[in-house]
Structure 1
Amino acid sequence: MLASHNRTEMVAAWVEERIGNRLFLPGKRIPSVRRLAQLLGVSPFTVAAAFENLAVAGLIEARRGSGCYVRAPQRAEPTTVEPPQVNLAWLMHNMLASAAAKGPGMGVLPAGWLNGSAAAAALRAIGREPPARLLEAGKAQGFEPLRLMLQYRLAALEIEADASQIILTTGVTHGLDLVLRTLVRPGDTILVPAPSWFGAFAILAAHRARVIAVPCTADGPDLSQLARLIAEERPRMLVLSATAQNPIGFTLSMSAIDAILAMARQHGTLVFEDDIYSDFGAEGATRLAARDGLNQVIYAGSFSKTLLGNARVGFLACRRDHAAMLAERKILSGFTTPEINERLIHKILAARGQAQRAAELRRRVADARASLQRRLEARGFRVCGEPESGMFLWVDLACDADEVAVRARSKGLLVAPGSLFFPDPRQSSFARFNAASSTTGLDAVLDLAVAR
């Protein structure tokens, strides 16, 4: 004799088979519990249990006082597949999706270009230190030996700042966030070059700043437009890079730097100088902070692009009263930055041969940038200017770069479309190409642009 659950399954299968063969038609009543029990030689309880299973599966439905009916198949609503929205979240997600991410849209150097052995050696050296050092809470301004080292590194750029004027951060993004929290009020006007680093836009929006774009050329911001905007809008701050600018790669001339600083001083505008790509800057390039003496300028740098991205160590250099305010804000908003990371960067920088390795990396990036520009121009694509520094080129694809980005992603390649590099939504035919990561999939991406 069959077990009760097997009999239930048998009854359910019997009914389902007849529904599938259209012996029991959609919308029509099926035999009652009592009738099926007599027909199949099972108890009414077994049939009732089978009906419950069929109802859960969506094959039949009970109608009060009328019995059970075969459910009509649900008509599938027509679905439309929305194209992915190309925005900052889309780009960052795809950049960080996996270690296998590749393509000209990457924002970092390939891991193979960096010195992993130096990082490993520094980690081992820290492990040999007295355990008590690893348990220290850290200081508001950051690990002092690294700040002292930065004092001399900044002096090589003709930026005069002692250790008390340097605040360690978890990168330039954190540095900008600290400055906004400390020195900018919601609703204050901030000027940004257009195009420029898209990460700043999200931070500025979070602080409810009023963002105005300053048009840029291959040589830098349009100075006449900048002068008009500073005079009319009286901005609290200008965010700018003097060399290796992201994404155009321009280096400001000395006359442009002096003109910008004169405008800033006249109208009391702070300048946040983003020098995250300092190690790839043009030889002998002058920084805004060097000409200003850290009066109007707050200088920001980082080691995440050239030494160790995971360590997330950056810094701010500014005048003393600003440094004191930023250190206090840093404590209130997140206590201290991880000193173990700062110790790690300090050891890497102090290692023998580090200066030579940095120079070799600079030459490699410069060679890759020149090679990429030749390849692009050979295929008829226009590059904005002839950048002397940095790892990026601003390339005109002569079509909607968002469409190219979406199509490239379906092939496993990342493209950074120009629309992301403006604070206001707009269509752009430009895309930012990373010279170091463009060796993979370059022709495939360019083929997609040509096909458009």
Structure 2
Amino acid sequence: MPRYAKAKNLVTTLVDKTAKMIEQGTLKPGIRLPSIREAASNNSVSKNTMAEVYDRLVGQGYLTSKQGSGFYVNINRPSTAHRAAPKQAEALSIVSLLRHQLKQDHDIRVGDGRLPFDWVEGSEVGAFFRNPKSLKDTNLKDGYGSPMGYRPLRELISLTLAERSITATPDQILMTNGANHALDLVIRHLLLPGDTVLVDEPGYYPLFGKLKLENINMVGVRRTEDGPDLDDLADKAARLKPKMFFTQSLAQNPTGSTITIATAHKVLSIAEQHDMYVVEDDPFADVMTQSLPRIATLDQLERVIYIGTYSKTLSANLRVGYLAARPDLVAALCDLKMITMVSSSEYGERLIYNLMYKGHYVRHLRRLKKRIDKARNDVLNVLDGLDFQKVHQPTGGYYCWVQLPDGIDEAQLVQRANEQSIFLAPGSVFSLDKDSTDSFMRLNIAHAAHPTFIAFMQEILKK
């Protein structure tokens, strides 16, 4: 038997052995496992083999990894977990910005909403997608599959949410065709034309398009470095009686700001006082610290609808996202999903399950986080040498929100950039009050340090 195959058999054997010990209670929840070096010695295997064993166990929800401390038996893991077999040029409107993101016809994509291809799909995970063996369990013999989505993946997501201190059973998790589909389901089910909702200002522009399409009255709530402006939120909630508040708590798009725990508590209190749903979109969760404050953690999905996606960390082409909410609400949203599109892609869901279950996703995130952190630091250092009026310090995610000096015409700036094949995301696209953000830009940290863009901005800012 080839050495590679032997190593894989050893990994599988050790994974199964450790998992069985956890399931039987021999290894208690919270207990720290031996270091990779020690465990490798105890089992007479290489450190690389043992590292893959631990990564798979993390991916399957049996273990949690604490940087600098080691590996621990997951205290949030249900006692009976499923162990299935290994399975965003010229752009001054919402539609035009989306179109330019999809066409990919600019050389320097500073305004893009996603990471470069080689950071995600073209990374080591890309090899998994291209490997026929990774698809061996991705069969379609069950037809459309469950309208709720592939259950083993929902079970792993349940464990992931537990790490964020959000309790949600697999039956409280509905797989969707990306986060935007989740938002669309919520809007269609809970809102009627003429209803009023609150949104982050500035905020997520595709959401604005969906709400406009359904003739929903949108009112912006000022975004601060600590999250939503509480006075603004409280005033508008009291006066307008909105049905819900759409927000992003962590690494908010476009400002990069993250809510504080005190602000999160107050947001929930205001929502409860005025009987308002909170829709918390968390697209960067997997590259953020799990313990950061989330409104869903405080509310435990009573009035909060929590939305996640794999588009930002794996592939937007897979179109796999999910929402978590109260059981009754999830059931109703599932019915709407069946009426509008029958089901989501179990093919894509099984692919992601296999990535997680086999530990590939854990290793991918580990490398991706380091790359994002380095890119963010590099961009901030470069921007520090430019004469922007202000550079808002991002707390995570992929974006940096910068304020241009007075007197710069946004339309002319975008047009000049377009002439140099530079794609920009102007601030007005992210706001309902266009005049409040027409001197801002959202920069993608993976592209904003490009020499051509820096030279372009140096010329603009000098003039």
| TM-score, normalised relative to structure 2 | 0.76
Alignment-derived partner of residue 437 in structure 1? 447
Matches of 1:85 and 1:149, distance apart in 2: 39
Q: Within the alignment, does 1:86 sit opposite 2:97 as a pair?
A: no
**How many pairs are equivalent?**
369
1:422 alignment partner, one of 431, 435, 454: 431
Alignment of 1:298-313 (within 5 A): 298-313=305-320
- On the 8 A contact 2:91/2:425 being kept in 1, the answer is no
Q: Which has the higher contact order (CA 8 A, sep 6+)?
A: 2
SS at match of 1:343: helix
TM-superposed deviation, 1:184: 1.3
Contact 2:91–2:426 at 8 Å: present in 1 too? Answer: no
> How far does residue 451 in structure 1 lie from its aligned partner after superposition?
5.5
Distance 1:134 1:373 in 2: 50
| Distance in 2 (alpha carbons) for counterparts of 1:323 and 1:85 | 36
The SS at the match of 1:443 is helix
2:180 to 148, 173, 185: 173
Is the 8 Å Cα contact of residues 311 and 317 (structure 2) preserved in structure 1? yes
Rounded to whole Å, the distance in 2 between the matches of 1:178 and 1:125 is: 34
For 1:267 and 1:403, locate their aligned partners in 2 and report how far apart those are by CA, in whole Å. Answer: 43
With 205-214 and 381-390 compared, the bigger mean Cα shift is at 381-390
- Partner-residue secondary structure (3-state), 2:208: helix
What is the identity, as a one-letter code, of the residue corresponding to 2:362? A
Question: Are residue 412 (structure 1) and residue 418 (structure 2) matched?
Answer: no
Q: Percent identity?
A: 32
Task: Output one character per residue of 1:396-439: Cα deviation in whole Å (capped at 9) or x when no partner.
Answer: 12223332112111111101000000024436110000001223
Q: Secondary structure at the match of 1:145?
A: helix
* Deviation, structure 1 residue 205: 0.5
The answer as to whether partners of 1:190 and 1:238 remain within 8 angstroms in 2 is yes
2:386 match: 379
Q: 2:103 aligns with which of 80, 91, 97?
A: 97
Question: What SS does structure 2 have at the residue aligned with 1:316?
Answer: strand
1:336, 1:199 → 2: CA distance?
22
Gapped regions of structure 2 (runs ≥ 5): 1-88
Partners of 1:101 and 1:305 in 2: CA distance: 21
**Per-residue deviation, residues 24-82 of structure 1 (Å, max 9, x unmatched):** xxxxxxxxxxxxxxxxxxxxxxxxxxxxxxxxxxxxxxxxxxxxxxxxxxxxxxxxxxx
> Which among 144, 166, 186 is matched to residue 193 of structure 2?
186
CA contact (8 A) 1:383 1:393 kept: no
Please give the secondary structure, in 1, of the residue aligned with 2:221.
Answer: strand
Two-structure CA RMSD over aligned residues (Å): 2.0
The gaps in structure 1 that reach 5 residues or longer are 1-82
Match of 2:160 among 136, 153, 177: 153
Task: Tell me the equivalent position of 1:108.
Answer: 114
Greater Cα offset, 319-328 or 370-379: 370-379
Query: Post-superposition shift, 1:136?
Result: 2.2
**CA shift for structure 1 position 220:** 1.9
1:323 aligns with 2:333: no
**Corresponding residue SS for 1:190:** strand
278-287 vs 329-338, greater mean Cα deviation? 278-287
Which residue of structure 2 aligns with residue 128 of structure 1? 136
* Distance (whole Å) between structure 1 residues aligned to residue 377 and residue 419 of structure 2: 28
- 2:411 and 2:375 map into 1 onto residues whose CA distance is 25
> Residues 11-160 of structure 1 correspond to what in structure 2 (within 5 A)?
86-98=92-104, 101-114=107-120, 116=122, 117-122=124-129, 124-129=132-137, 133-134=140-141, 136-160=143-167
- Residue 399 of structure 2: aligned partner: 392
Shift of 1:352: 2.6
Alignment match, 2:15: none
C-alpha change, 1:219 and 1:448, in structure 2 (3 Å) is: farther
SS at match of 1:136: coil
CA offset digits 1:349-407 (Å, max 9, x no partner): 22334313202212221221122112112122244432221111100122233321121
Higher alpha-carbon deviation: 118-127 or 170-179? 118-127
Kindly state the Cα deviation for residue 442 of structure 1 after the two structures are TM-superposed: 2.4
Q: Which amino acid aligns with 1:330?
A: K
Per-residue deviation at 1:119?
4.0
Structure 1 counterpart SS, 2:301: coil
1:116-159 deviation line (CA, Å, top 9, x unaligned): 4434425523543485x455211111111110110001111111
CA contact 1:172–1:314 (8 Å) conserved in 2: yes
Residue identity opposite 1:162 in structure 2 = T
Q: Secondary structure at the match of 1:298?
A: strand
CA deviation vs aligned residue, 1:77-129 (integer Å, no higher than 9, x gap): xxxxxx96621222222222237653211110001112544344255235434
Say if 2:283 and 2:307, in contact at 8 Å, map to a contact too: yes
For normalisation by structure 1, the TM-score amounts to 0.77
Matches within 5 A, 1:351-366: 351-366=358-373
